[in-house]
Structure 1
Amino acid sequence: MKIMKKIIALSIFILFLIHPLIYAQIKSQNNNIWLHYVGKNKVSKKTFLTLEATMRYANGFKEKQQYFVRPSVDYQVNKTLLASIGYTHYNTFVYGNPALNKRPIPENHLWVQTNFTHQIGAFRLTNRIRDENRWVGLATLKPNSNEYIIGDYAYRNRLRYMPMVTFPVLKHEKSTVINGFVGDEAFINIGKNAGATLFNQNRLILGLGYVISKKSQIQLSYIKQRIWNLTDTIEETNPTLRVSYLTNLDFTKN
């Protein structure tokens, strides 16, 4: 129990640390809507194949913000530790005023992740750490033209840390029907190509989940997203509504 208290105290402390007081030269705001899917598929006693995908819009549905596709292989090391390796393909569009990009920017990530879970009474505490190796498209002007093209890719390294607490809100016949969750995720630039700012993004997350069955759930989240560009000249603060559909299928059962 003492260890659990230390973990909770450390998580709360980090939550305060990851709201940096960084002031960019230009500040903007976009009201986002994200459509999100996560499918977890058990294929052996300890192995899972997961597919995550999202389509993100800025300023309602007026502008495309970003999409990604993220397959991964997950291994349940023990009761509390889930280890993963995966790939993500992103495409970030030109949106907002001012826009962060000159043209749509592709990214390819290879990443490793650990997810620690501890049950403390009715509360489930998770600590997710992801190390992302990123290859980010660089927009350059096409010779003798005003058109931007992807001329090359730059390697960047980013660390993501997300503590999350999940708890029951409404139960029926001893089963949770609606759960709540609160957390925060920090995106930290590391390595020699980290840029002018330590933080790439930060997301404060609050939400509710409706448990349809043991195999599926719908979640509605409010996310306060903050983004800083590589040179720290633009900062976005984006109130975001995320609608998620989660599935959990077991292919080991006949």
Structure 2
Amino acid sequence: MRYAPTKNQKFMQTHINKFLIISVLALTISSKTYTQTSSQNNDIWLHYFGKNMLTKKLSFTLEGVARFANGFSEKQQYFIRPSIDYQLTKHLVGSLGYSHYATYVYGSPAINKTTIPENHIWLQAQFTHQFGDLKITNRLRDENRYVGIAVKEADGSYAIDRYAYRNRFRYMLLLNYPLIKDEKKATKLFGILGDEAFFNLGSIKSTPNADSDVGATFMNQNRIIAGFGYNINPHHQIQLSYIHQNVWNFTDTIEESNPTVRLSYYTNFSFAKK
């Protein structure tokens, strides 16, 4: 006798299929073309994410990351990312945020000639659903990027001359499942698995100039994520993750394939009146 899948089973299968499709798409696009040079860096990312409830629905979030390439031997990137978030429905949070990046010269070959600053204004929608113990998060972010353009000086060095506008869309699917609970049934240890894809929006150009709104490739980055987290208490959490990051540069001449370890510290506080 055959049983029809339940609504929850169909929903979970849809998200598993999404994860597989994104991963296969990233692997397909990451196939090296004859014009690409491959680069690999063994990265370490130190990550902080703090959520602060201001009212029952309104919150302020501050995120910051220091990234290093090839152990701690080279600075790779840092960013700071504040945002205002609002709980629109039980399952949906909307955010308006700003990001400031600095990406350094690292790796061989290096993508950058000098440190590149970026400023982003972004909008985000995050959908979260719970199916028993399994939590599924879908996150969509539209980034309006203002990227520093480096020009060569007379002495051979490079300096930031101006900023170019570029638009990028990000989609992340993340699964979270508890592994160990305490005597009060609160989750202590949990596992995470997910994928995040970054897409350049605009008219793809085979030979873009520095001021083009989009580069030579639709895919900008992909990150496959797997790891564990531990809830110290309701306000503090740590995570240790492995991320396999693929990066395609603006002209699609260099592809980075970076095994990455990320150590994250999360805080969650409420200043809302009870």
SS at 1:4 equivalent: helix
**Aligned match of 2:22:** 14
**Aligned match of 1:4:** 11
- Superposed displacement of residue 120, structure 1: 1.0
Q: What letter is aligned with 2:11? A: M
SS at 2:240 equivalent: strand
Q: What letter is aligned with 1:161? A: Y
- Superposed displacement of residue 204, structure 1: 0.3
- 1:120 and 1:16 map into 2 onto residues whose CA distance is 25
Q: Please report the RMSD computed on the Cα atoms of aligned residues, expressed in angstroms.
A: 1.4
Q: What letter is aligned with 2:234? A: K
Does the 8 Å CA contact 2:172/2:195 hold for their aligned counterparts?
Answer: yes
**Aligned match of 2:123:** 112
- Superposed displacement of residue 253, structure 1: 4.3
1:244 aligns with 2:264: yes
| Residue correspondences, number | 253
SS at 2:29 equivalent: coil
1:38 aligns with 2:49: yes
Alignment of 1:102-181 (within 5 A): 102-142=113-153, 144-173=154-183, 174-181=185-192
- 1:104 and 1:222 map into 2 onto residues whose CA distance is 26
Does the 8 Å CA contact 2:22/2:195 hold for their aligned counterparts?
Answer: no
- 1:95 and 1:5 map into 2 onto residues whose CA distance is 40
Deviates more, 1:16-25 or 1:47-56: 16-25
- 1:205 and 1:5 map into 2 onto residues whose CA distance is 18
Q: What letter is aligned with 1:37? A: Y
SS at 1:45 equivalent: coil
- Superposed displacement of residue 175, structure 1: 1.5
SS at 1:20 equivalent: helix
- 2:28 and 2:202 map into 1 onto residues whose CA distance is 19
Compared with structure 1, are the counterparts of its residues 78 and 7 closer, same or farther at alpha carbon in structure 2 (3 Å cutoff)?
farther
- Superposed displacement of residue 16, structure 1: 2.9
1:234 aligns with 2:234: no
Compared with structure 1, are the counterparts of its residues 216 and 253 closer, same or farther at alpha carbon in structure 2 (3 Å cutoff)?
farther
- Superposed displacement of residue 224, structure 1: 0.2
- Superposed displacement of residue 10, structure 1: 4.9
- Superposed displacement of residue 124, structure 1: 0.3
**Aligned match of 2:239:** 219
**Aligned match of 1:83:** 94
Compared with structure 1, are the counterparts of its residues 6 and 210 closer, same or farther at alpha carbon in structure 2 (3 Å cutoff)?
closer
- 2:83 and 2:136 map into 1 onto residues whose CA distance is 22
Higher Cα radius of gyration: 2
Q: What letter is aligned with 2:269? A: L
Does the 8 Å CA contact 2:22/2:197 hold for their aligned counterparts?
Answer: no
Does the 8 Å CA contact 2:55/2:273 hold for their aligned counterparts?
Answer: no
**Aligned match of 1:50:** 61
- Superposed displacement of residue 104, structure 1: 0.3
Counting aligned pairs with the same residue, the percent is: 54
Q: What letter is aligned with 2:222? A: N
Deviates more, 1:233-242 or 1:9-18: 9-18
**Aligned match of 1:59:** 70
- Superposed displacement of residue 9, structure 1: 4.9
TM-score w.r.t. structure 1 length? 0.96
